Structure 1
Amino acid sequence: MTTLATDVTRLLGIDLPIVQAGMSWASSSPELPLAVSRAGGLGVLAAGPMRPDDLRGAVRALRAGTDRPFAVNLPLYRKGAEEVMDLLLAERVPVLIASQGGPRRYLDRFQAAGTVCLHVVASPEHARKAADAGVDGLVVVGAEAGGHPPPELVSTLVIVRAVARAVPDLPLIASGGFADGAGLAAALALGAGAAQFGTRFLASTEANVHPAYQRAVLAASVTDAQPVGRDLGVIRALPNTFTRDMTKLEHDGADVEDRRARFAKSTLKMAAFDGDVDNGKIEAGQSAGLVDEVRPAAEIVRTLVAEYLAAVRSLPG
């Protein structure tokens, strides 16, 4: 197997600087993270929507299915987060990727258990706070990302450089807008030690999402994934009834509670699990416009490596 060594691969014990994003529903079962970890990257189980018993079973399936490292992504705002942390500590997960909260809430316990702790940030200020708390590394999210981009919508190109300058000694994973090996080369050039791929792995055979959701991603252009939900926790999503309603409410200056009610009426589960791509939240990054086929995850990893090597060879001297 090809290996590409960086500070991130050394920290995590993986062969390739390729991280599959933790995506609710899409990677809330073991199939996708297992395939990515087996291929040499870091597969990430998305704990956000998972019931504790299902999460425990998925972690054990991952451990039984590979001797390679894997991660669990935990949004700290989710209901029952403390119970989930106790579960993950008991299961001694190799890597924790935490988001939407402060690292001091979990850090000492997990590091004492031998878990590598990565924290998701979207600003130099939060990066410095996480570094001061003692995290092992950071996932730096830019505006191009699907799901929850930074509310200020600073591009990945800028935010990764800003964070790399703010915390120069901390391993970084760049996230937002990456879909191919040229993007991986760009991430490493920016100062990251790996790139995180979300939307690219949405279009994988192992992604646990409805075919209608995948078809929407494949049909998208680079301009389709738009941010909605100002003041409510911005998401980037593909156009449908939900995004049109939200855009109109925002344009008309609707009261925040009216917007909150409409925002909550539609869910990611409706689109990703039930296949209601008209009324649900079709969360996807701008890189959807660079994705045009569903492929096995391991094949995606191999292609990313080949494209990366070709991109690097094409650079001048």
Structure 2
Amino acid sequence: MSQIITSVTKLLGIDLPIVQAGMSWASSDSALPLAVSRAGGLGVVAAGPMRIGDLTRTLDEMADGTGAPWAVNLPLYRTGADEVMDLLVERRPPVLIASQGGPRRYLRRFQDIGTTCLHVVAAPEHARKAVDAGVDGLVVVGAEAGGHPPPALVTTQVLVRAVRKAVPGTPLIASGGVADGYGLAAALALGAGAAQFGTRFLASAESAVHSDYKQAVVDAGVDGTKTVGRGLGLIRAISNDFTDRMIELEESGSDLELRRKAFQGGTLRDAALHGDLKGGKVEAGQSAGLVDDVLPAAEIVDRIVQEYADAVAQLQAVSADT
């Protein structure tokens, strides 16, 4: 297996600086995370929508299924987050990726059991606070990301550089707009030690979302997503009847409660599990425009590695010519 050694691969004990994003429903079981970890990256279980029994079974499958490192993503705002943390402390995942809350809530418990703790941030000031609290590394999410991009919509290229300057020496994972090995090379050039791939793995054979959802990702262009839900929890999703309705309400200055009702009327669950591509939240990043096929996760990893090598070779050729 190839190796690309960076600050993040050293921190996490993985061979490749390729992190599969924790995506609700898509990686809320063991299939996709196991495939990515076995291929040399970091597979991530999305605990956000999971019931305790389902999560317990998935954690056991991950532990039994690979000796390679893997992670659990936990949004700290989810109902029952404390119960989930109790379970995770008992099961001792190699890596925890936490978001939507402060790291002091969980950090000591997990570091005391040897779990590496990464925290998701979307601004330099949040990065400084997380590092001051003692996190082991950061996932820096830019505007291009699917799901929940930062409300300020600062691009990944700008945000990673700003965070790199704010917290020099801290291992960073760049997230948002990265779908191939060229994006990985760009992330490393910006100062990150790895890239997080969400939308690319959304369209994988092992992703647990509906086949129509995967096809919607493949069919989307680079301008095929919209951000909606301002003041309600901003999301980026593939354009459909749901996003059109939200944009209409937002642009007309409609009452917050009317917008809230419309926003809650479409769900990610309906899109992911039942293929509701019209009224559901078909969450995906701008990198959907770079995804042309549905492939096994291991093949996606292999392709990223080859593209990364091609990108580095091109840069070296430019350097040699000057």
- TM-score bin, normalised by smaller chain: over 0.9
Paired residue secondary structure (1:216): helix
The match for 1:91 is 91
Q: Structure 2 CA distance, aligned partners of 1:215 and 1:295?
A: 12
Paired residue secondary structure (1:273): helix
| 1:120-269 mapped onto 2 (5 Å cutoff) | 120-269=120-269
Q: Structure 1 CA distance, aligned partners of 2:168 and 2:268?
A: 36
Q: Structure 2 CA distance, aligned partners of 1:233 and 1:224?
A: 20
C-alpha displacement of 1:240? 1.0
The match for 1:271 is 271
C-alpha displacement of 1:152? 0.3
Which amino acid is the alignment partner of residue 48 of structure 2? G
Higher mean C-alpha deviation, range 257-266 or range 288-297: 257-266
5+ unaligned residues in a row in structure 2: which ranges?
A: none
Q: Structure 2 CA distance, aligned partners of 1:21 and 1:256?
A: 31
Q: Structure 2 CA distance, aligned partners of 1:104 and 1:130?
A: 8
Are 1:47 and 2:38 counterparts? no
Q: Structure 2 CA distance, aligned partners of 1:107 and 1:118?
A: 9
Q: Structure 2 CA distance, aligned partners of 1:45 and 1:114?
A: 18
Q: Structure 1 CA distance, aligned partners of 2:263 and 2:89?
A: 34
Paired residue secondary structure (2:254): coil
Paired residue secondary structure (2:274): coil
What whole-Å deviation, never above 9, does each CA across 1:40-67 have from its counterpart, x for those lacking one?
A: 0000000001000100110110110100
TM-score (norm 1): 0.99
Are 1:100 and 2:78 counterparts? no
Which amino acid is the alignment partner of residue 83 of structure 1? E
Q: Structure 1 CA distance, aligned partners of 2:303 and 2:214?
A: 19
C-alpha displacement of 1:274? 1.0
What whole-Å deviation, never above 9, does each CA across 1:192-217 have from its counterpart, x for those lacking one?
A: 00000000001100000001101111
Paired residue secondary structure (2:88): helix
Which amino acid is the alignment partner of residue 113 of structure 1? I
C-alpha displacement of 1:257? 1.4
C-alpha displacement of 1:219? 0.7
The match for 2:299 is 299
Give 4+ residue runs of structure 1 displaced > 2 Å after superposition: none
Task: Give percent identity, aligned residues only.
Answer: 68
C-alpha displacement of 1:241? 1.1
Q: Structure 2 CA distance, aligned partners of 1:265 and 1:225?
A: 19
Q: Structure 1 CA distance, aligned partners of 2:56 and 2:96?
A: 14
C-alpha displacement of 1:239? 1.0
Q: Structure 1 CA distance, aligned partners of 2:37 and 2:75?
A: 21
Are 1:18 and 2:15 counterparts? no
The match for 2:66 is 66
TM-score (norm 2): 0.98
Q: Structure 2 CA distance, aligned partners of 1:22 and 1:96?
A: 11
Task: State the number of aligned residues.
Answer: 317
Which amino acid is the alignment partner of residue 211 of structure 1? S
